[in-house]
Amino acid sequence: MLDAWPALPLFLGALLAAVTRGQLRATVMIAAPLLGAYGVFQLEPGTTTQFELLGYALTPVRVDSLSILFGYLFHLAALIGVVYALHVKDPLQDVAALAYAGSAVGAVFAGDLLTLFVYWELLAVTSAILVFARRTELALSAGMRYLVIQVGSGVLLLAGAILYAVNTGSLAFDHIGLDAPGGWLIFLAFGIKSAFPMLHGWLTDAYPEATPTGTVFLSAFTTKVAIYSLARGFAGTELLVYIGALMTCFPIFYAVIENDLRRVLAYSLINQLGFMVVGIGIGTELALNGAVAHAFNDVIFKGLLMMSMGAVLHVTGEMRGSELGGLYKKMPRTTILCMVGAASISAFPLFSGFVSKSMVVSAAIQEGHPIVWLMLLFASAGVFHHAGIKIPFFAFFAHESKHVANAHEPPTNMLIAMTMAAVLCIGVGSFPGLLYGLLPYDTGYSPYDVSHVLAQLQLLAFSALAFTWLKLAHIYPPELKSVNLDAEWLYRRVLPEAVRRLLAKLAPFDRALRQLGKSMVQRALLGLARHHGEYGVLAQTWPTGSMVTWVAALLGLSLLLYYL
């Protein structure tokens, strides 16, 4: 059964979580990803499940090295997320989280575009529930915007798939390319979920408004399914190199001025996605290995950072850097675990980010992209600046905040989940062969040579010095009590205002049209009343004799017409 549907344990777990309670539900939640991971372990590359629908061959399950890697990753992320959320007594979040993870697993094993579309939309609905589950006005608004954009991405995917199928006679989800029929529509659908520049607003808008535990799941699945899809369908597309390079750089500037620390991590997520997109665009074996490996590592270390900030939010109810600080005194274990995540995302040697990010950077210079290489170096320094330093500094150090007095370590299950992620960050960084053995290609790459290590240490040292100097010189942007809008400003401010002004301009015409319609209806009613009203012609009583005369006349006319 698991060969036919690898996502079955997670969906079955979601169903059982809806009808169980207490310790039994917790057992179900933990067992589902473990059983699913065992199922992935049993899969053999080359295995497929196929059937025919309306003349098209569908492949709901296609197993190869790429899908197996993401299958392991998503089950691992689901397990960590479930452990982190064990203290939550909300069936809605439990069901949505497992169904969300199951949709991600189903998507990466999909071998045709129609199956991918089904899971694509399931991802949209189940992830939106994790935003709505916070049950605040801001979460409801952000969740609705998020859902519209995510469903829109699915509509584009379906339209592209239909064009592709009609013109090629196949729905197979293999390499597509921009030149294929419907290729641009599919590319745009993947780009929305990958948070391409100007299409990224949903991520920074919705993720910070989700529940503390929901954000951990959100950071793991949607964007990584999109990265997998790009790697499957558009590897080697040069346009992705430049899109990804831009993605690595522009979020840095927003993250530096952002006050909400979970929003800082949302921008940091876009920054890390940029490295993956660059690797997919370069398309060589080393670059694709780097993109996939960095996706794997990002789920773990970004999840760790999201969990640490979720712990802070759980304990203090606050997420603004301007209102936090000094928490290391009461939350030392959370502080240390957060710093492990910060070191990993900053690509310190012996931490996971170093062994994957360096592959993409090396591939960029090897394939003759010196400008992109410089942009990636700048982005590497920038991520250390805002995620490696800013997050732990303003959350746990910076200054003494009012929350220190009542602060404490989060529930034990949250600490266990963070510890699991931290161990993985250090383990993968110290023993990269564990991860490299799962990658699609064997390139013989070794991250720990002298040039790589020294270059990265120099980059990190200068970035730390820059942050220190800016703080001491009082030049570093202060943590303001404000909300920053970037791309979503277009649909949260410009579009609503344009619609309001247009409606104001059209109001006189609207009133005139309404009045015209009302008068036309009134005239029609008066006409009907003249004929069918109480005193109308058709309402009168007609004598029986005259009616017989008319019937006879009509019959005679019918006979006359018949004989003529």
pLDDT (tens digit per residue) in 37-49 = 999 999 888 888 8
Who has greater pLDDT, 191 or 390?
Answer: 191
What is the mean pLDDT of the segment spanning 316-325? 88
Q: Cα–Cα distances in Å, from 562 out to 551, 555, 559?
A: 17, 11, 5
Residue 377 lies in a domain: yes
Residue 551 lies in a domain: no
Q: Which of 369, 438, 391, 370 is nearest to 271 (CA)?
A: 391
Do 421 and 323 lie in one domain? The reply is yes
d(CA 515, CA 522): 10
What is the mean pLDDT of the segment spanning 352-372? 91
Domain final residue pick, 438, 469, 487: 487
Are the beta carbons of 120 and 107 closer than 8 angstroms? yes
d(CA 295, CA 104): 14
Residue 564 lies in a domain: no
Are the beta carbons of 222 and 121 closer than 8 angstroms? no
Query: What is residue 442's predicted lDDT score, i.e. its pLDDT?
Result: 86
- Using the predicted structure, report yes or no on whether residue 196 has a pLDDT greater than 60: yes
Using a 10 angstrom Cβ sphere, with 0-12 exposed, 13-18 middle and 19 or more buried, the burial of residue 195 is buried
Residue 492 — pLDDT band, cuts 50, 70, 90? low
69: tokens are: 């890697």
d(CA 318, CA 316): 5
- Considering its fold, how many domains does the chain have in total? 3
Do 214 and 263 lie in one domain? The reply is no
Domain span at residue 154?
Answer: 1-234
d(CA 106, CA 90): 25
- Using the predicted structure, report yes or no on whether residue 484 has a pLDDT greater than 70: no
Do 94 and 230 lie in one domain? The reply is yes
Q: Which DSSP state fits 52?
A: E
Residue 557 lies in a domain: no
Residue 547 lies in a domain: no
3-state helix, strand, coil in the chain (%, to 5): 75, 5, 25
Give 459's contacts (C-beta < 8 A, 6+ positions apart).
377, 380, 381, 384
Do 263 and 400 lie in one domain? The reply is yes
Domain final residue pick, 487, 510, 545: 487
Do 451 and 514 lie in one domain? The reply is no
Residue 298 — pLDDT band, cuts 50, 70, 90? very high
Do 367 and 270 lie in one domain? The reply is yes
Residue 560 lies in a domain: no
Do 101 and 130 lie in one domain? The reply is yes
Are the beta carbons of 342 and 306 closer than 8 angstroms? no
Residue 535 — pLDDT band, cuts 50, 70, 90? low
554: tokens are: 């009509």
d(CA 395, CA 311): 11
Q: Which DSSP state fits 231?
A: H
Domain final residue pick, 218, 234, 250: 234
Do 63 and 30 lie in one domain? The reply is yes
Do 307 and 227 lie in one domain? The reply is no
Residue 509 lies in a domain: yes
Residue 192 — pLDDT band, cuts 50, 70, 90? very high
d(CA 351, CA 297): 10
Do 368 and 395 lie in one domain? The reply is yes
Residue 556 lies in a domain: no
Do 19 and 167 lie in one domain? The reply is yes
Do 43 and 61 lie in one domain? The reply is yes
